[in-house]
Amino acid sequence: MQYHFIGNEAHRSTSGQHIPVIDPSDGQVFDQIQRGTADDIAAAVDSSRHCYETVWSKLSAAERGRLLMRLSNKIAEHTEELALIEQRDCGKPTKQARADALALVRYFEYYAGACDKLHGETLPYLDGYSVLTWREAHGVTGHIIPWNYPMQIFGRSVGGALAAGNVCVVKPSEDACLSLLRVAELARSVGFPAGAINIVTGFGHEVGDALARHPGIDHISFTGSPTVGTIIQQVAAQRHCPVTLELGGKSPQIIFADADLDAALPMVINAIVQNAGQTCSAGSRLLVEHSIYDALLARLGESFSNLRVGPAAMDLDVGPLIRASQQQRVWDFLSDAQVANIAMVAQGQIVDEAPETGFYQAPTLLRDVPVHHRLAQEEVFGPVLASMSFRNEDEAVELANATKFGLVAGVWTRDGARQLRMARRVKSGQVFINNYGAGGGVELPFGGVKSSGYGREKGFEALYGFTTLKTVAIKH
């Protein structure tokens, strides 16, 4: 049985109810979490406020940095344990789960070093004035986290907020929160004061909603679906609470005929099968210059056919989807493809060892997906790649920009001038040229445009979002 983590203590929910924790690899219940309530959120916010007023805001930036660094080191000692927890909770193959735990180490390392480097400015102004700007913490920040990368999203969101001088009330996904409850214990063990990190588990429409509505929350960092992002934005608007929204994507991989295909194809595959396609930045649309379209799809199809899907602990190319309803969602998209006569080029194989009760989906490559079909417009959040061809650069740009999203784009070409033109013309928060994701570095600001959200997380840029600027003008 798992409990909320409030004030450095395990905290039973006032609901007296639990939510089962299911292993996606076999569909079996293996643990229980608390079904939180608005009262639990209120207790967490009170505890965090007290921490902020009495301890956290009194620490020097260097002291905060040392605490974050101690947490990074402690997590580093526990990466294998955390990876195993996340593997069971989310169905992540071992390599992915380990990469996520190591990313968490790096997030806290990076933000530890950033604490004492966040500063304001002095501004030239009228004679007789001195004008300063200060970056001040919001205070108590709320963090609503999805299930696809709990540790990574906690690292970038909570790490940045703490570094900027805030304390955090965290609402992880009801589908994946075990690793974060353990990280909170590790934070306590290295000396984090009670209330600096509080975690309340439960359903989004109950605790997530209560968190977004609570007047004691000074800033909300939301990562999740566009639908819930809209709700959060509306709720926060009632009290003018600032929000950062990291939402979905339908990101294009754009391949020109002069691209280095040996470099591109493994990344095209990885970008759609990593985490079973349940990645906000999944490269889920493949746009290929028509002269190489057929040959490229033949090559890619062969690779797709060789992809193996199975239980997380087998550490194959692809693990299970998070839950039965997600599997059903992917099936619905694929049956729509059939109805629309969209051709399937290839599918990977689900291994015999995969239990029938697990939530498996073979990676699927589709061709000539019409640009307005929902497979080319909506986030599937599964390992399904929708491909289409283009005749020239203008058409590539038009197709790339033809969705409501704007999170990531990959552009593959050897032509330097075209690289820059494409980077300018494609509407998205990130453009990766001859790579995809740039290794996911914490140093690189990350966020969307259009319905992919606004505000930036990661990098130093995130710290600006986790602070508010105060202008101080002194007349001498």
Summarize as ranges the residues that interact with ligand NAD (CB under 6 A). Answer: 144-149, 153, 171, 173-174, 204-205, 208-209, 212, 223-225, 228, 231-232, 246-249, 280, 379, 381, 407, 448, 453
Distances (CA, A) of 448 to 181, 230, 249, 280, 394: 28, 14, 8, 10, 22
Shortest Cβ 281–ligand NAD spacing (Å):
7
Shortest Cβ 303–ligand NAD spacing (Å):
25
Shortest Cβ 130–ligand NAD spacing (Å):
40
Is 353 a residue of the active site?
Answer: no
* Contact between residue 169 and residue 213 where contact means Cβ atoms under 8 Å apart: no
The answer for residues whose C-beta is within 8 angstroms of residue 61's C-beta and 6 or more apart is: 115, 116, 118, 165
Residue-wise DSSP of 150-185: HHHHHHHHHHHHHHTT-EEEEE-BTTB-HHHHHHHH
Cα(63)–Cα(208) distance, rounded to whole angstroms? 31
Shortest Cβ 451–ligand NAD spacing (Å):
10
Burial of 328 (0-12, 13-18, 19+ CB in 10 A): exposed
Shortest Cβ 279–ligand NAD spacing (Å):
7
Query: And the tokens for 354?
Result: 């995969």
Shortest Cβ 269–ligand NAD spacing (Å):
19
Query: And the tokens for 211?
Result: 């968190």
Nearer to ligand NAD, 153 or 168 (CB): 153
Nearer to ligand NAD, 69 or 235 (CB): 235
- The catalytic residue among 206, 246, 379, 457 is 246
Nearer to ligand NAD, 289 or 457 (CB): 457
Give the three-state DSSP class for 52.
helix
CB neighbourhood size of 155 (10 A): 28
Shortest Cβ 369–ligand NAD spacing (Å):
19
Nearer to ligand NAD, 259 or 375 (CB): 375
Give the three-state DSSP class for 133.
strand
| The residue type at 48 | S
Give the three-state DSSP class for 199.
strand
Nearer to ligand NAD, 65 or 453 (CB): 453
Beta strands 308-309 and 349-350, pairing class: parallel
Nearer to ligand NAD, 225 or 305 (CB): 225
Helix 178-189 and helix 150-163, axial crossing angle in degrees, nearest 10: 40
Nearer to ligand NAD, 101 or 313 (CB): 101
Which region holds residue 58: left if phi is over 0, alpha if psi is between -120 and 50, else beta? alpha
Torsion of CA 84, 160, 197, 227, to 10 degrees: -80
Beta strands in 68-166 (DSSP E): 122-123, 129-137, 140-144
Shortest Cβ 331–ligand NAD spacing (Å):
17
Query: And the tokens for 158?
Result: 């909570």
Nearer to ligand NAD, 144 or 288 (CB): 144
Cα(305)–Cα(383) distance, rounded to whole angstroms? 13
Residues labelled as active-site residues: 246
